[in-house]
Structure 1
């Protein structure tokens, strides 16, 4: 049985840890509210813009000439992996890394063996995980969460778009955590480039069968709409991941605080039993000593 001093030291240590996890939970909750507001406000705009792009590009005759819609044989792949900069958020980062590795194994194993799979890491944890595994990792945008803004994410999107247009990449995909609520994050894999045409949302009519009137011109609208949509979609993925991170951390810290409380209850019970045993032993020693003195006299 541990001594009273050891038990007291453990109780003090766990109590300090519980205070830290409780404070981290409160900080994560405050950040989550702001991050949730950001993604809630952007998501409808991003979805509508994406639907508009799918509709217009499918129906426009010159859309196929856009460099971001060119479908090629997949030789070189860029995966944009969005994780967090810090840990202590449960399986948040592990799930994204695992999803990316599974995607590589199932779809791009040949490209990976040839060294033609590149990782663009947004978030330090993802960069570290893929560097340990020997992948070619682009860390130019790893600090995006330090000053998260559309301008920061736009730079990463433009780099991926330029690489695709120049033929450096034949396909670009994004892997991230989509925010549902504080307790639920869903790992998503979305094709960013080339742009995939879609039917007109909600109408059930193929977009290609719809006649459009373009002003100022079809070419100008398509040329302007596609790059803007690509950047917005990546920004949405990063905002989703940011909100998911804070939700995952808040949940993890809440669970850690509860576990610390349970452990404190057990340790206090052990402490009381140990203390009772020590008092009983001291009483027995005093009684034994008194009896010995009485017998000697």
Structure 2
């Protein structure tokens, strides 16, 4: 049985840890509110931009062909893995690693065996993990330090340039989609080449939408497509950012609860150990007194 000093030391240590996890939960909750507001504002814009682009592309037909929509034989693949910069967020990062590995095994096993799978890591954890396993494109460990559209745009432009020049035949992004504080869903979505978007059931058909093209249909479509690609990647990063804070908040809440349960057990152990020590001392005193009385 541990000594009273050891038990007291453990109780102090657990209490200190519990205070830290409580503080981290509060910080994550504050950051989550801002991150959640950001993604909720962007989602309608991204969806509307996709719908407009889909209508314009349908109206343009074969007259307008984007270099980002050309499907090629898939020999070289770029996977954009979006993680966090820090840990202590439960299975948030490990789920992305599993998602990327599953995507490679299911869709790009042949390319991986040939060494033709490259990772663009957004977030320090992905950079550290895949830096030892797969070729990396660029260094985007600074994105979440000052998250903005401009910082994400650099990564999107590098991926777009790689696809446009034929360096990569397909670009896929893997990220955590934010649902709520306790739920994040790993998504693997094709970013390039562009895939036609299915319009909602109640959405108007492209032929029924009246657009006035100025300056020209081709120029508008060619301008909107790169912008749409950048917005989609930015949306995925914002989803991941909100998911990270939600996962960390949940993990810290669970850690705080576990620390509370451990404290109960340690205090019970402390009381039992103290009671046993007192009982032992009493027995020693009684035994000594009896021995003294017998010797007289």
Fold equivalence (TM over 0.5) = yes
3-state secondary structure, aligned to 1:89: coil
* Cα distance between partner residues in 2 of 1:64 and 1:100: 33
Indicate conservation of the 8 Å contact 1:183/1:248, yes or no: yes
User: Which residue is equivalent to 2:55?
Assistant: 55
Query: Structure 2: where are the runs of 5+ without partners?
Result: none
How far does residue 200 in structure 1 lie from its aligned partner after superposition?
Answer: 4.0
3-state secondary structure, aligned to 1:231: helix
How far does residue 61 in structure 1 lie from its aligned partner after superposition?
Answer: 2.8
Residue pairs, 1:156-175, within 5 angstroms: 156-175=155-174
User: Which residue is equivalent to 1:226?
Assistant: 225
Residues 1:140 and 2:136 aligned together: no
3-state secondary structure, aligned to 1:78: strand
Deviates further, 210-219 or 112-121: 210-219
User: Which residue is equivalent to 2:275?
Assistant: 276
* Cα distance between partner residues in 1 of 2:102 and 2:23: 36
User: Which residue is equivalent to 1:87?
Assistant: 87
User: Which residue is equivalent to 2:76?
Assistant: 76
How far does residue 205 in structure 1 lie from its aligned partner after superposition?
Answer: 7.0
3-state secondary structure, aligned to 1:111: helix
Output the aligned Cα RMSD.
1.7
CA spacing shift, 1:64–1:167, aligned 2, 3 Å: farther
Indicate conservation of the 8 Å contact 1:121/1:138, yes or no: yes
Residues 1:99 and 2:99 aligned together: yes
Indicate conservation of the 8 Å contact 1:25/1:254, yes or no: yes
Moved over 3 A (4+): 199-213
TM-score scaled by length of structure 1: 0.95
Indicate conservation of the 8 Å contact 2:93/2:125, yes or no: yes
How far does residue 237 in structure 1 lie from its aligned partner after superposition?
Answer: 0.4
User: Which residue is equivalent to 2:178?
Assistant: 179
**Matched residues, number:** 296
TM-score scaled by length of structure 2: 0.96
* Cα distance between partner residues in 2 of 1:209 and 1:294: 111
* Cα distance between partner residues in 2 of 1:183 and 1:199: 29
